[in-house]
Amino acid sequence: MYFVFVAPAILLAMWAQYRLRSTFALAQQQPAPMSGAAAARYVLDSAGLTDVGIEQVPGELSDHYDPREKVLRLSQNVYGAHSLAAVGVAAHEAGHAIQDARRYAPLVIRNLAVPMANFGSSICWVLLMLGFVMQAPKLMLLGIILFGGVVLFQIINLPVEFDASARAKAELVNLGVIQPNQRVYVDKMLNAAALTYVAATLESVLILLYYVMQFM
């Protein structure tokens, strides 16, 4: 029954990962006038964020913005690559830095929820399993509440990611980093990336509903 519940989300997640990798590979083949790091620097400087740093980190699609250190961390395939994939991903992460500087409300809420989400994700499964095995409704209910906090965090994160992608698409064209006819490659890649977040959130929602039904 558990797998029947979550199967639609798992299939969507598999499709989303396939779409992300295929669209990223396609965008990698399209040249860009500057590297991912240079594009991120251009977007940040144009927004007045000259104090935000840019670093290269190992891994594939490991790109992220660290709001505590005020640093964009770009993977090797993005940092030095002169491709539409690189500038698209870099501009997306720069979008998060702009959100942080502008105090974008969903991002502020998401950052405040990070400690709760980290704590909940680390202990909720233990409480849920113990609740099942020991037939302890209170433990199971506590696990459901903590996992519900994780799901809430994921839901809050969706508009943050969507907005960062929208900012990236607009800035790349407005600043002349890419031509309007090249935007289709960036759009497809960032839309596929957004779909992975939607799939992960849907999976968590379905899992939460499953455990709620088991508890009831």
Helix (H, G, I), strand (E, B) or coil at 73: strand
Query: Known catalytic residue: 60?
Result: no
Q: How far apart are CA 186 and CA 172, in angstroms?
A: 9
Contact between 84 and 32 under an 8 Å Cβ cutoff? The reply is: yes
Q: How far apart are CA 61 and CA 112, in angstroms?
A: 25
Contact between 53 and 70 under an 8 Å Cβ cutoff? The reply is: yes
Residue in 55, 60, 69, 93 annotated catalytic: 93
**29 membership: H or E segment, kind and range:** none
Give catalytic residues, as residue numbers. 93
